Amino acid sequence: MEYYHGPGRRGAYFEGWYLKHQGPEGELALIPAIHQRRGGERSATIQVITADQTRIFSFPERAFQAWADQFKVRVSGNWFSQDGVYVDLEEGDFSLKGELRYGPFTRLESDIMGPFRRVPAMECVHTVLSMAHPLEGLLCLNGRYLDFSHGTGYIEGDRGRSFPRTYLWTQCCWQERQKGSIMLSIAHIPILVGGFTGCICQIWFGGRSYRMATYQGVKVVQWGKEGARLRQGDLELSVDLVRESGQPLRAPVSGQMERTIHESLCATVRYRLWERGKLMFDRTDELASYEYADEGKKRRGRGRYS
């Protein structure tokens, strides 16, 4: 698996990683990213998302370093890797400092993009590094210590030119009863003439792994701001947004930070999965991540990175 794809890229490009952390005393996501303008100028950012605020830190290209053979990213004195994260961020009235250690990753058996990873000139390519992993450690957010010990982490990444102009994305991990994790992304995928609705979904529950995807014949029965319905063979998935409180995030358009979207780090979402008509789980979670964006026929984009 190649973890960083940026060297030698020409034109507009972004690559970023979304690291979510859930603990007994709070939730927090970190998004390190590199972005490149059409002319080749490069810069880096780290976005911090909490339940009630977001903050973006900007850095010159020289502050960024990433490894292709392992998940390891440095932005100035901040480190992100398979072993954990170390952050030392401060600007104005905002500060975040500390270290979290990661346990073993729950990896996918195969690339979430399937054969679409080989399609040239894809606007955005998605990857999942870990569906769930244990956490240990403390972070100090604006002078308040948050204990993430015995918590759960999740990591994914995106790369390309822009996020889709219209998309739904949600993610959730839980530890009560049978442990579970779900990631769903539905988006308008542009092609040379028109476009189509693409879907990727990975579910880990009860020691089993389920995948629903366009390349596996999934049917997107319905999708929009309030949720989605999917069917694929013997599987049926229902996602319903119950409550959200979105925070503004910067997003890439042609490699530049020119779009604002809103993500709920702690939305209330109901997830239901059926297999052969049997309800496998019915989970309503108040710590789900949720994004929906629709720019219609406006210039393309998406959220979180670059």
- 3-class secondary-structure state, position 65: strand
Write b or e for each residue in 222-248: b if 16 or more Cβ atoms lie within 10 A of its Cβ, otherwise e: ebeeebbebebeebbbbbebeebeebe
Going by C-alpha positions, the residue among 267, 56, 75 that lies closest to residue 171 is 267
Overall pTM surpassing 0.85 (yes/no) = yes
pLDDT of residue 52: 85
Sign of the CA dihedral running 221, 174, 293, 7: negative
What is each CA distance from 103 to 100, 130, 135, 146, in whole angstroms?
A: 10, 11, 6, 18
Distance of CA 254 to the CA centre of its chain: 19
98: left (phi over 0), alpha (psi -120 to 50) or beta: left
pLDDT of residue 303: 46
Give pLDDT < 70 ranges for the chain: 246-263, 296-306
* Burial (CB count within 10 angstroms: exposed 0-12, middle 13-18, buried 19+), residue 93: exposed
Nearest 5 degrees, angle CA 195-CA 304-CA 113? 45
Which residue(s) pair with 219 in the sheet?
231
Long-range contacts of 39-43 (CB under 8 A, 24+ apart): 40/10, 40/11
d(CA 167, CA 303): 9
Mean pLDDT of the chain, nearest integer = 90
Predicted confidence (pLDDT) per residue in 84-135, tens digit = 999 999 999 999 999 999 999 999 999 999 998 887 778 899 999 999 999 9
pLDDT of residue 249: 55
Distance of CA 260 to the CA centre of its chain: 16
Torsion angle of C-alpha atoms 173, 97, 157, 110, degrees rounded to 10? -60
d(CA 79, CA 73): 6
pLDDT of residue 163: 86
Torsion angle of C-alpha atoms 226, 291, 70, 147, degrees rounded to 10? -100
Q: Domain map of the chain by residue range?
A: 13-294
